[in-house]
Amino acid sequence: MKKQFAVIGLGRFGGSVCRELYQMGHEVLAIDTNEDRVNNFSRYSTHAVVANATDENALQSLGIRNFEHVIVAIGDNIQASILCTLLLKELNVKQVWVKAQNQYHHKVVEKIGADRIIHPEHDMGVRIAHYLVSEKIIDYIELSPEFSIVELIASRKVSYQTIAKLDIRAKYGCTILGIKRGEEVIISPPPTHEIFENDILIVIGHNNDLKRFEDEGL
Ligand code: ADP
């Protein structure tokens, strides 16, 4: 389903979000005060406009209240990011996601109603650390401080065995959500499903259990 998004601030982060959403076929309104950046993004958005997102009238005339989802990706200018978030929430935008620079910024936008606060450098750093320590981990998503979803490569040890035989849930307390095999993705594989070496297992669980499965099970 096509969705409507507005991305405010077209730096590295906002720019990537904008381009990716547009390439996925969604409608994206791209906003920045910098004319060069806006011109650059006319190719990667449905509409790209020069506007100051801390100006309530400017936001109103862009019809921002009709967008269900707005991403505030104003970088260093924390004051502008806060003011913009406040205006968007006052205009009743349902989902306002904000890129935060630091914990102070996080706290303030949380208080004024940001629906999700993103720390791209921090989050990416955490993910990269997980890839670094294990050659088996392909991807890592933190659900909470204790629970995660990881993508692990199936080793020869588990090859040609069914999920039931491996008994991963009972032995390790983890659940296989899906298996990627080349282009194919098997969602909720049945217990009779056979695993092959180099399959990518998408596994959810407590971090300690996931670690145990990765170290001992694979
Ligand atoms: P990143 O760290 O993601 O690269 P930048 O600081 O480079 O972020 O980019 C932030 C963008 O936000 C810049 O292109 C800047 O022009 C834009 N910006 C800053 N203030 C406003 C504002 N009030 N309204 C709209 N865009 C803004």
What is the interface pTM, i.e. ipTM, of the complex?
A: 0.96
User: What pLDDT does 1 receive?
Assistant: 66
Among 32, 37, 41, 101, say which to mutate for ligand 1: greatest number of ligand atoms within 8 Å of CB.
Answer: 32
> Which residue ranges form the domains of the chain, and what is each CATH number?
4-118 (3.40.50.720), 123-217 (3.30.70.1450)
pTM for the predicted model, two decimal places: 0.78
Q: Which residues does 3 contact at the CB level (< 8 Å), separation at least 6? A: 26, 27, 68, 69
Q: Could you list the mean pLDDT of each consecutive 10-residue stretch along the chain, which spans 218 residues?
A: 90 97 96 98 97 97 95 94 98 97 95 96 87 83 91 93 93 95 93 94 95 91
Is residue 101 lining ligand 1, measured as CB closer than 6 Å? no
Q: Whose CA is nearest to atom 17 of ligand 1?
A: 9
pLDDT at residue 129 in the model: 86
Whose alpha carbon is nearest atom 11 of ligand 1? Answer: 9
* CB-ligand 1 contact for 120 (6 Å cutoff): no
The Cα 134–Cα 127 span in angstroms is 11
Helix (H) or strand (E) holding 109: helix 103-111
**CA of 61 relative to ligand 1 center, distance in Å:** 20
Query: How much is the pLDDT for 167?
Result: 92
